[in-house]
Amino acid sequence: MRTFLRAILLASALSAAGIATNTLAASPVAPVLTTPDARDVRSYARPLVARVTHVDLDLTADFDTKTMSGQAAMDVLAAPGAKEIVLDTLGLTVSKVTDGAGRDLAWKLGASDAELGAPLTVQLNGARRIVVHYASSPGARALQWLPPSLTAGKAKPYLFSQGQDINNRSWIPTQDSPGIRQTWTARVVVPSDLVAVMSGARLTPDGEPAGEGKHAYRFRMDNSVPPYLIALAVGDLTFRELGPRTGVYTEPSMMDRAAAELVDTEKMVTTAEALYGPYRWGRYDVLVLPPSFPFGGMENPTLTFLTPTFITGDRANVGLVAHELAHSWSGNLVTNATWPDGWLNEGFTTYFENRIMEAQYGAPRAEMEADLDWDGMQADIAEVGGPTGEATKLYGDVGGQLAYFKGATFLRTIEKTVGRERWDAYLTSYFDRHAFQPQTTAGFLKDLRANLIKGDKGLEDKLQLDRWAYAAGLPDNAVHVKSEALARVDAQVAAFKQGAPASQLTTSAWTTQEWLRFLNSLPRQLSKAQLDDLDGTLKLSTSTNSYIRSAWLELAIANRYEPAVPALEEFLTSVGRGLFLRPLYAGLMKQGDWGRPIATRIFQKAKPTYHPTVASSLERLVSGG
C-alpha cells in the first residue's frame, strides 16, 4: 500500500511539473477532497500512481471500415514502486501492449460503461514507455465519417473528430481527463486525394508518400494540452492565408465565403494579446467544417474548428471566432482540472470574448451581446428549476449555457467592483502564473484572494466569491449590462404587440443580435394572421442566417404554424449544430399530437447527418427517454 508521505511527495513533483493532482482545496461550501488519490470521476486514470506525459500516435484512417488503427506510444511518469497504469478507452479493440523496446506487457480491459468506456490497465514491469496497438470502432463517439453527399463539394468523403469532453478515448487510448495535460505527435495516413489537418504544428503540409494511394501527414504539439484538445480532420481541404499567423482551411467551394467572413481574424489575435498577454500557440488557423459539425466552434489549439452556420455574409457572428480565440488563454492555456470546474473554461472565455468584441467593434456591439447573454442566463435559470436549482451553481453539473453566462457575469461583476484597470492587470498575471496548468474553482478563488483582494475584508464582502462559485442562483451584486440598441428593439416589440404590422417595423439595418432580441421577446402565442404577417413581410422562413431562422422556427413551433413546417424540415436536415437542433426538437415534442409525429419523421430522416453525440441525445429526446 502506498504511504501518505510518498503520495504527498509525488503530488509536489507533479505540481511543479504543471501536472494536475485532481484534488480540491478545502472550502466551507465546496466538496472537500483532500485525500492524495482524489481524482476526476469521469476518468479511470489514477495520475498519482502513474500518468501519461506524452503521446505519439501512428494511425491510418480507413474510410471503408470507418476506423482509425495503429498505435499510441505513451511516456509514463510513475510513482516509486508503481506497478501499473490505467488508461481510458471507449469501444477500442486492443491487440497488444508493449514497452518501448517491443517487449509484451500484460494488460486487461475492465468492465465497460456506456458513458465512461472501459479502463485499460497495463502492467508496467518497470517500463516508462508503453505502446498500445489498437483500432477504433466504426461508431467511435469522437469521430464522424461523412459520405461525399454530406460535404460541401459532394465529391469526396470527410472525417472530423470532436474530443470534448470525454470523447477522445474512443479513438486514442490515454488518460482522458482535462487535468492530465500531455504533449503529443502524430503521423496519420489517409487516402492520397485527401488532406489531413490536426491541432498542432503541421510538419508535412503537403504530406509524404505512404504506399499506393496513401499519403502520411505529421504533426507535433510541444505545449502540454488536455487530451480533449487533440483533434483531427481529413477531407478535400484547401488553405488560404488571412495574415502572417492566421489562415483558413475548408472545402474549395466554401473558401471564398469563409475567407470573407474571417477577414478580421489576424486583427482579432492582436486585439486579444493587447488585453491579456501574448498568444502562445504559434499559428491561429481555423477550419470551417461541413454543416454536421455539432458545435458552434471548438477551440483546438492552432486550429479552431468552426460551424459553417456562422457565415452570414455580414460578419455578424464573428463573436464565435472571438470566443474560440479567447480559449487560447482560458481553457487551453489555463484548463479546468475536472469537468465540474468547467465554468473556469467557458465563463472566462465568454467574458474575454466580449472584451475582444468591445475592443475591435465598439462598446455598442459588446453591450448588445452581453445583454443577450443576460437574457440567455435568465432563460437557463428558469429551465433548470429557477434560482434555487442545483444546476444553477457554477461549480458542478451546470445546466444549459449557465457555465458560459453566469461565469462571465461573475467576472464582469468583479471588473465593475474593482475597476477595469486593476482587474485587467490581475487577469493578465493570472494567465501568466497558471500558464499550461490545470486549475480548480477553489484554486481560482484562492488566487483571487491572494493577488487581488489581498486581505481587504470590505472588498471580500462586496464580491461574494463563495456565493458566486458554490451557491444556487444569482448573487444580488450581479452586473447586468444593458444595451440602448436592444432597448430600441424592445420598443418595436411593443409596437407589434399593440397591432402595428410588420411592414411598419424598422428592421432593415438590424444586426443578428437585434433580430434575436425581437424574435425571442415576442409573445409565444400569436395569431395566424400575425405569424403570416411576420413571415410574409420579413421572409423569416427563408432567412440564410441560421440564428434568425432558428429563433423564428422556435416561435412557429410554439404556435403550431403549419406554413413553416417545410422550412423547419429543410433546416433540421441541413444543420448539425446542437445549439439550433435541441430547442427545435424539444419544442416539437412539447406540442404533443401535432409536434411529436413531425419530430419523429424528421429525426429519422436527418439522423445519419448528425454527429453521433448529437444524434444520441436527440434520439433520447424524441423517443421520450
- Cell digits for 381? 435559470
Is residue 116 within 8 Å of residue 88, measured between CB atoms? yes
Pairing of strands 214-225, 182-191: antiparallel
Nearest to 417 by CA among 462, 451, 458: 462
Widest pairwise Cα distance in the chain: 80
Active site residues: 324, 404
Residues in the chain: 625
Q: What is the 3-state secondary structure (H, E, C) of 237-300?
A: CEEEEEECCEEEEECHHHHHHHHHHCCCHHHHHHHHHHHHCCCCCCCEEEEECCCCCCCCEECC
Q: Is 346 annotated as a binding residue?
A: yes
Omega cis (within 30) before 165: yes
DSSP string, 154-173: SSS-EEEE--TTTTGGGTS-
Nearest to 610 by CA among 104, 1, 162: 162
What lies within 8 Å, CB to CB, of 7 at 6+ separation is: 36, 37, 48, 79
Q: Is 273 annotated as a binding residue?
A: no
Locate all alpha helices (DSSP H) within 385-483, ordered by sequence: 402-418, 420-433, 441-448, 457-463, 465-470
Nearest to 513 by CA among 402, 354, 371, 348: 371
Q: Is 323 annotated as a binding residue?
A: yes
Instruction: Provide the 3-class DSSP secondary structure of residue 526.
Output: coil
| Residue 72 neighbours by CB distance under 10 Å | 24
Nearest to 447 by CA among 334, 342, 356: 334
Is residue 439 within 8 Å of residue 430, measured between CB atoms? no
